[in-house]
Amino acid sequence: MILPDGLYRWITKQNHNLPLIGLITFGMPKVFVRSIYNGNRGKQLWGDKKACVTLSFDCDYPEDCEDMPAVMGMLAQYKLKASFAAVGHWVEKYPREHAMVLEQGHELMNHTYSHPDNEILNPGRKFRYISAAEKLEEIERCHEIVRGLYGHEMTGLRIPHFKHLFSEDIYPLLKQAGYAYSSSTWLTNTPTRGLPFMAPEGIAEFPLATCPLHPFTVFDTWHSLNAERLSHRIMHRGPDDYLMLFEELIRVGKATGSYINIYMDPLDVKKIPGFQRMLELLSDPELIVTTYTDYLRDGLPVIGAPVRQADALPRMEAKAA
């Protein structure tokens, strides 16, 4: 089944429609998610590969930063590259861990300076509701810290949190900051069936995958392992279920020729005995696994892009020791 384009576009505007969300979530969530990705069948987007995957990690807490080296060590075993969303304050506190990201050929992306609404750094100050000037200050301060410490120019951003805290007013700020991309929204909030698309102001947006059992919620480790919401505990809970749903997304991606954008929290990796299995799945030669910057640099599909994307962007390569 393919969800018709008109119905799909309407549903992407219904993220506050609780009756609809409940009907889909408790009625046919996996069928619904697959019906969205089914719209990519036959497009031949990835050359001789079946699907494309990006893997990213949000480093929001001290525990995330402390666990980054172990995560990178496991990625290195499979020669996989990932994108790490860096909070400026924690970059200052954990400069060595963040330096390792660049040294090992991964990507640092901007996650603001203080991650507004972070329980430790900035509680109660939600990113969506601060002024444009404050948002830009958060972005630029993080950027300057990374530039000052490593001489590195980040090219993309992830806003703090998702769901109802996302709004398109971020795009003019990213253009002002000279950025190329964002990964701040999700499958059921955008009408491109999960594919990266050209957002306002010429910013490429990489929608995150949603949970196959909670189609209106970003698929992440937090909601699988830590969330207290009753619906999450009823529908699935724990590392085994998380692995099962990850495998489902990869299967759907390959079967439909889709783009699957996964993000995790580093502090949760050690809670998932199946993380090695996840990396094995990502090592499948039928997949493209890349960072956001390299996706753009390599000219992979961006819906609505008039020209080859970001040829000037550097490939993520490991620095010489």
Contact between 65 and 98 under an 8 Å Cβ cutoff? The reply is yes
Predicted confidence at residue 320, as pLDDT, reads 35
Q: What is the mean pLDDT of residues 276-292?
A: 97
List, in sequence order, every beta strand (DSSP E) within 179-315.
181-182, 197-199, 203-205, 210-211, 214-218, 259-264, 287-289
* Side chain identity at residue 303, one-letter code: I
- pLDDT tens-digit profile of 215-266? 998 998 877 777 666 555 666 668 889 999 999 999 999 999 999 999 999 9
Lowest mean pLDDT among 117-121, 127-131, 273-277: 117-121
| Confidence check: pLDDT of 312 > 70 | no
Predicted confidence at residue 313, as pLDDT, reads 54
3-class state of residue 165 by DSSP: helix
Distance CA 181, CA 172 (A): 12
Predicted confidence at residue 115, as pLDDT, reads 87
The pLDDT-based confidence of 16 (bands split at 50, 70, 90) is confident
Contact between 242 and 272 under an 8 Å Cβ cutoff? The reply is yes
- pLDDT tens-digit profile of 203-218? 999 999 999 999 998 9
Listed by start position, the domains of the chain span 5-10+28-297
* Side chain identity at residue 249, one-letter code: L
CATH class for domain 5-10+28-297? alpha beta
| Confidence check: pLDDT of 154 > 90 | yes
This model's pTM is above 0.85: yes
Which residue has tokens 């750094």? 121
Lowest mean pLDDT among 78-87, 183-192, 221-230, 282-291: 221-230
Predicted confidence at residue 165, as pLDDT, reads 72
Could you give the angle at the alpha carbon of 158 between the alpha carbons of 53 and 268, nearest 5°?
65
| Confidence check: pLDDT of 21 > 60 | yes
Distance CA 220, CA 158 (A): 14
- In 3-state terms the chain splits into helix, strand, coil percentages (rounded to 5) of 45, 15, 40
Question: Closest Cα to residue 142, out of 110, 118, 172?
Answer: 110
Contact between 61 and 89 under an 8 Å Cβ cutoff? The reply is no
Can you say whether the dihedral through the CA atoms of 6, 11, 14, 18 is positive or negative? Answer: positive
* Side chain identity at residue 145, one-letter code: I
* Average pLDDT of the chain to the nearest whole number: 90
**DSSP letters along 8-72, please?**
HHHHTT-TT-HHHHHHHHHH-HHHHHHHHHGGGTT---STTSSEEEEEEEEE-SHHHHHHHHHHH
- Residue 106, CB-side half-sphere exposure with 13 Å CA sphere: 28
| Confidence check: pLDDT of 181 > 80 | yes
More confident: 123 or 73:
73
Distance CA 301, CA 35 (A): 21
Contact between 103 and 76 under an 8 Å Cβ cutoff? The reply is no
